[in-house]
Amino acid sequence: MRPVSRRRFLSIAAVAAGAGPLAALSGSATTAPVTRWRGRALGAYAEITLRGGSEAAAGRAVGAAVRALRRMEALFSLYDPSSALTRLNRTGRLDHPAPEFVDLLRLCDRVHGATGGAFDPSVQPVWALLAGQGGGYAPADLAAAQSLVDWPAVAFDPARVSFGRPGMALTFNGVAQGYATDQVARALALEGFADTLVNIGEFRAGQGAWRVAVADPVAGIVETRQIARTAIATSSPPALTLGRAAAASGSGMPAPAHILDPKAPLRPAVWSTVSVEARSAAEADAFSTGFAVLGMADVRRSLHRTPALRRVLLVEGTGRRTTLMVS
């Protein structure tokens, strides 16, 4: 069985009157035909909804979208031994990376800086240790894994990606699904479909009005949003804890959440749920991951110096909600 993705909890679901929680329907009245594709990508449920066009045109668009999804898996999957990411983690080097790979690394670099290091894809060695199925870990093991969390030691350009020292590894679980969502939306637009909603754990809405609900693992649905020409992504740290390894360690610490603070991975999560709206699903995805381990003041600072962001919803463990808007 594949491991559960660290942040893949259905904490954001498309909703419509009379429809199931995974049905995505336009919020505006229309008689245009609706085409829907459902499947899985990057370990997540995926749904593509598009409106208008002929059956043949819609079929071609869906085919292009699925091809884009499979390309993203070939680049960013942690579970495919032949993916570009897996090969990089195995050898510490990736020659002639795909343009999308470099593009995603550049985005990660920007978000790492904007969040003061709270978003750090090089946290993978720590996560792998805490999520390991073979028992516990010694404090020295955790210290060794933490010493490998060092985003500035990841060198990349269009010719090569490389790690600064052996043992480093990356994960894109906090951004790849959002990036894939954007790629699918672009593929649909190139086929002439702009009235679309793409859901790969994160949402990107095209023209028209689309309704989505943000849910918390404890409080349930905490709000319903109508979105258009924007993206929304949600992270819920308590949705999954790495309890087996923590318990076996005998540390007495609470089981860490599946979204780790790169600087203090055993520290309890700050928020129960963080939902971010941004111009792209990749940005919303990455910032929702980073914000999940930041306090209110740091989230505010990042929000107001990042033009890509539009809105942040922070949900505490008690269910209390705070909404931050870009001024």
Each residue's pLDDT, cut to its tens digit, for the chain (327 residues) gives 333 343 434 344 444 322 322 233 334 445 788 999 999 998 888 999 999 999 999 999 999 999 999 999 999 999 999 999 999 999 999 999 999 999 999 999 999 999 999 999 999 999 888 887 545 678 899 999 999 999 999 999 999 999 999 999 999 999 999 999 999 999 999 999 999 999 998 999 999 899 999 999 888 999 999 999 999 999 998 776 675 544 444 555 556 767 889 999 888 889 999 999 999 999 999 999 999 999 999 999 999 889 999 999 999 999 999 999 986
pTM of the model: 0.88
Residue range(s) defining the domain that contains residue 54: 12-78+177-234
Specify the length of the chain in residues: 327
In a domain, 276, yes or no: no
Residue 128 CA to residue 89 CA, distance in Å, equals: 12
**Has residue 205 been placed in a domain?**
yes
Number of independent structural domains in the chain? 1
Q: Is 58 inside a domain boundary?
A: yes
* H or E element, residue 68: helix 55-76
Q: What is the CATH number of the domain that holds 194?
A: 3.10.520.10
* 212: in domain: yes
Report the alpha-carbon distance of residue 35 to residue 53 in Å, rounded.
9
Is the distance from CB of 126 to CB of 265 less than 8 angstroms? yes
Amino acid identity at 133: Q
